[in-house]
Amino acid sequence: MKLSGMILVCALIFSTYTNASEAIGYYSSGKLKDGDSIIERGTPVHKLFMQRGRFFGTQIMQDTISDAADFVRQTYPDAEQLQIGDIAQKGGGVLKEHGSHQNGLDADIVYLTKNKKLQSQNAAFWEEEFVKNGVVSENLDLERSLNLFRYLVTTHPVERIFVDVAIKKAFCTYAKKNNLLTDKDYVEALRRLRVEDLHTNHFHMRLTCPKTDMSCKSQAAVPAGSGC
């Protein structure tokens, strides 16, 4: 092939690559270009709030959710399918009921449970609360959920995982009791668990800006240590 031909092929490959999804701006003031729909892609998850249409994320978000679902299925064959709440709407932008979820890098996911019960796909709101009067429900499977977090933070560009204050405490207590704080991967998982209100019924997974997305604005790094 002549040099000019090779340059053309390279340019085509590069443009196909860069024409992939793009996260623009910040999590709470951004947009999503050419996002992937979790429904069209047929990702094997249990999508909640179907009527809201918030199926869209960056490609890396779609891959992360798909890999998380695979991890759960392979590690715990009897587990419920991974339950996904809102990601972003087509094109991203402001989403009612959320401060963020604007650039395709945020997704809400139900904690793994002991009774493995799936919520209705068309309910208007979460059907299960995992914290009542400051006490974490027995039904929240701490072991499975923490192992899912550990998998996510060590294999995917997960920036933060927002959880309720009582839930973070419960994970810390569980980790101490089972002597997990000597394992750097568990410490890393706990480090990424950030306390945030309104996360008693789900956790919120936030990904870092993809390197290719030049106008994506990153968040300050999470401080070192488990925070327990």
Q: Least separation, in Å, of the C-beta of 82 and Zn ion?
A: 15
Quick check: 108 binds Zn ion (CB under 5 A)? yes
Cβ closer to Zn ion: 27 or 186? 27
Q: How far is the CB of 204 from Zn ion (least distance, A)?
A: 4
Q: Does 164 bind Zn ion (CB under 5 A)?
A: no
Binding to Zn ion by residue 204, rule CB under 5 A? yes
Asked whether position 159 contacts Zn ion by CB under 5 A, the answer is: no
Total site size for Zn ion, rule CB under 5 A: 2
Q: Which is nearer to Zn ion, 36 or 108 (CB)?
A: 108
Q: What is the 3-state secondary structure (H, E, C) of the chain?
A: CCHHHHHHHHHHHHHHHHCCCEEEEECCEEEEECCEECCCCCCCCEECCHHHCCCEECHHHHHHHHHHHHHHHHHCCCCCCCEECCCECCCCCCCCCCCCCCCCCEEEECCCECCCCCCCCCCCCCCCCCEECCEECCCECHHHHHHHHHHHHHHCCEEEEEECHHHHHHHHHHHHHCCCCCCHHHHHHHHHEEECCCCCCCEEEEECCCCCCCCECCCCCCCCCCCC
Contact call for residue 80 and Zn ion (CB under 5 A)? no
Specify the residue, 191 or 204, whose C-beta has the smaller distance to Zn ion: 204
Q: Which residue is nearest to Zn ion (CB)?
A: 204
* Smallest separation, CB 98 to Zn ion (Å): 6
Looking at residues 16 to 35 of the shown chain, list those that interact with Zn ion (rule: CB under 5 A).
none
Contact, 119 vs 45, CB < 8 A? Answer: no
Q: Stretches 2-10, 30-38, 175-183, 198-206: which one binds Zn ion (CB under 5 A)?
A: 198-206
The span of 44-52, 105-113, 130-138, 219-227 binding Zn ion (CB under 5 A) equals 105-113
Q: Interface with Zn ion by CB under 5 A: which residues?
A: 108, 204
